[in-house]
């Protein structure tokens, strides 16, 4: 559905009004994709990270680099939009069982709660319900005469 915005009319237990506007974005995934050429020792730091460069007006930046991210599909799984977008843009096929959930170790199990929160990080809770689960994907690849075995068009530039 995308992004929903609506005003909120909330009072606390003392009847005091708490003004606000809520942006409902929902659950997302972020993907840290690391490629290392297989002609160097694994412990060597020669690794490359995929990033996207996109205009982000709210950050006052027309060429902001980020790791790939996307909203979860309707089934609530990674396999939807994010995986398809990565494959379209890079030719890489990511499988869910190859991903390492980097969010889970950072979230300590708390005590009893009545809140039903997505098991993820919540970066903008002051006005947005967005939750992000971060995954790591690493692969050693052949150079094959081109950057890391990827199709020649993988390195797209923003004009």
List the chain domain ranges.
28-107+135-153
pLDDT in tens, 92-112: 788 878 888 888 776 666 544
- Give pLDDT, residue 103: 85
**pLDDT of amino acid 157:** 39
Tell me what pLDDT residue 55 has: 92
Q: 46-59 pLDDT, tens per residue?
A: 788 888 888 989 88
Q: What are 72-98's pLDDT values in tens digits?
A: 766 666 655 677 777 776 677 888 788
Taking the C-alpha atoms of residue 13 and residue 77, their distance in angstroms, rounded to an integer, is 37
State the average pLDDT over residues 8-22: 85
pTM score, whole prediction: 0.72
The mean per-residue pLDDT over the stretch 28-44 comes to: 84
- pLDDT in the model for residue 156: 45
Please answer whether residues 124 and 116 qualify as being in contact, where contact means their C-beta atoms are separated by less than 8 angstroms.
Answer: no
3-state secondary structure the chain: CCCEEEEEEEECCCCCEEEEEEEECCEEEEEEEEEEECCCCCCCCCCEECCEEEEEHHHCEEEEEECCEEECCCCCCCCCHHHHHHHHHHCCCCCHHHCEECCHHHCCCCCCCCCCCCCCECCCCCCECCEEEEEEEEEEECCCCCHHHCCHHHCCCCC
């Amino acid at each position: 559905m995308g992004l929903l915005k609506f005003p909120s009319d909330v009072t606390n237990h003392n009847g005091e009004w708490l003004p606000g506007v809520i942006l409902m974005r929902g659950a997302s995934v972020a993907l840290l994709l690391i490629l290392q050429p297989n002609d160097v020792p694994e412990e060597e730091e020669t690794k490359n990270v995929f990033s996207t460069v996109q205009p982000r007006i709210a950050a006052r930046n027309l060429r902001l680099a980020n790791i790939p991210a996307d909203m979860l599909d309707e089934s609530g799984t990674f396999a939807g939009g994010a995986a398809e977008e990565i494959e379209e843009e890079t030719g890489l096929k990511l499988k869910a069982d190859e991903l390492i959930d980097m969010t889970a170790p950072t979230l300590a199990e708390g005590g009893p709660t009545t809140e039903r929160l997505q098991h993820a990080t919540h970066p903008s809770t002051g006005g947005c319900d967005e939750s992000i689960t971060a995954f790591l994907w690493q692969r050693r690849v052949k150079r094959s005469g081109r950057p890391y075995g990827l199709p020649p068009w993988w390195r797209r530039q923003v004009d």
